Amino acid sequence: MDANAADYLRAVVLGVIQALTEFLPISSSGHLLLAGEVMGERISSLTFDVGLHVGTLAAVLLYFWRDWTGMAAASVTDSLRHGWHLARWSARGRLACLVVLGTLPAVIAGAALDAYIEEHVRGAGVVGVMLLLGAGLLWMADRTATARDGLGEMDAGRSAAIGLAQAVALVPGVSRSGMTISAARFLGFDRVSAARFSFLLSAPVVAGAAVLKLGEAVAGDEAVAWGPLAAGALTSGVCGVLVIRALLGYMQHRTLAVFVWYRIALGLAVLAAVATGLL
């Protein structure tokens, strides 16, 4: 696809939307679907898909680089010293295994259901309903959770449960971060630990999506506009780092109520627009 000034502008706008909505519990897929309704179908091109995924991945890798390097080093050391006796592994080594475990449900569900969801479960009406349902779930999780566990208390059962919640977020409007944070809160983790684990879980899933989309772009008929791709990736990456930092700071002292009310307001607006034929 030939790039022009409008494509660069779209890439920057979508990069900002992706950064905000991927990490805040308000649904990136839902917002990008709605943006497609408003800005035109061209924003669904592989150029933008690849760029946004690469930028989001870069943000998570850069912000948590100490965690990633620490987990990688600990995993190698622990595996050489203790083999598969995971009970003897260090905290960082075990956390690496738990991130892998929590990623598996989304990988399996994505491989099995992505094509079906893309064809049958994409629509503004679905986004509106899921925004409202997710708002209720997020509110209950944040208000009723009483335990205050940190990441050091993460175990295989809870990691797998949070991973299952992440798989549900394949449906547009649900929100990957919203589901994983809600699940972690229900399972007894404090807000910051819930968010950190959610962000760590996102990296393998986003990396897989980026590789898949890039493979489709290279193998398919659509020519990739590398300039807008880079612009989208840079924008979503830089903004993503800022959003992660801001959200973790925010959640140290405040509830998730602002995101609940935002989801309710947007969900009602979307359903009203669908009912009146605007979407």
Residue 209 confidence (pLDDT): 76
* Token couple for 36: 């497609």
Which residue range forms the structural domain that includes residue 196? 5-275
Cα→Cα distances 208→104, 139, 181, 212, Å = 11, 30, 21, 6
pLDDT tens across the length of the chain (279 residues)? 456 788 888 889 989 999 999 999 999 888 888 887 777 655 456 667 778 888 999 999 999 999 999 999 999 999 999 888 888 899 999 999 999 999 999 989 988 887 788 787 878 899 999 999 999 999 999 888 776 889 889 999 999 999 999 999 889 899 999 999 999 999 999 999 999 999 999 999 888 877 777 777 667 666 667 788 889 899 999 999 999 999 999 998 888 999 999 999 999 999 999 999 888
Amino acid at 157: G
Distance (Å, rounded) from C-alpha 172 to C-alpha 48? 17
Distance (Å, rounded) from C-alpha 139 to C-alpha 248? 18
Q: Indicate the length of the chain as a whole number.
A: 279
Number of domains comprising the chain: 1
Which bin fits 171, alpha (ψ -120 to 50), beta or left (φ > 0)? beta
Residue 215 confidence (pLDDT): 73
- Helix/strand/coil (H, E, C) string of the chain? CCCCHHHHHHHHHHHHHHHHHHHCCCCHHHHHHHHHHHHCHHHHCHHHHHHHHHHHHHHHHHHCHHHHHHHHHHHHHHHHHHCCCHHHCCHHHHHHHHHHHHHHHHHHHHHHHHHHHHHHCCCHHHHHHHHHHHHHHHHHHHHHCCCCECHHHCCHHHHHHHHHHHHHCCCCCCCHHHHHHHHHHHCCECHHHHHHHHHHHHHHHHHHHHHHHHHHHHHCCCCCCHHHHHHHHHHHHHHHHHHHHHHHHHHCCCCCHHHHHHHHHHHHHHHHHHHCCCC
The alpha carbons of the chain give a radius of gyration, in whole angstroms, of: 19
Distance (Å, rounded) from C-alpha 208 to C-alpha 226? 20
Residue 41 confidence (pLDDT): 55
Residue 205 confidence (pLDDT): 86
Residue 153 confidence (pLDDT): 92
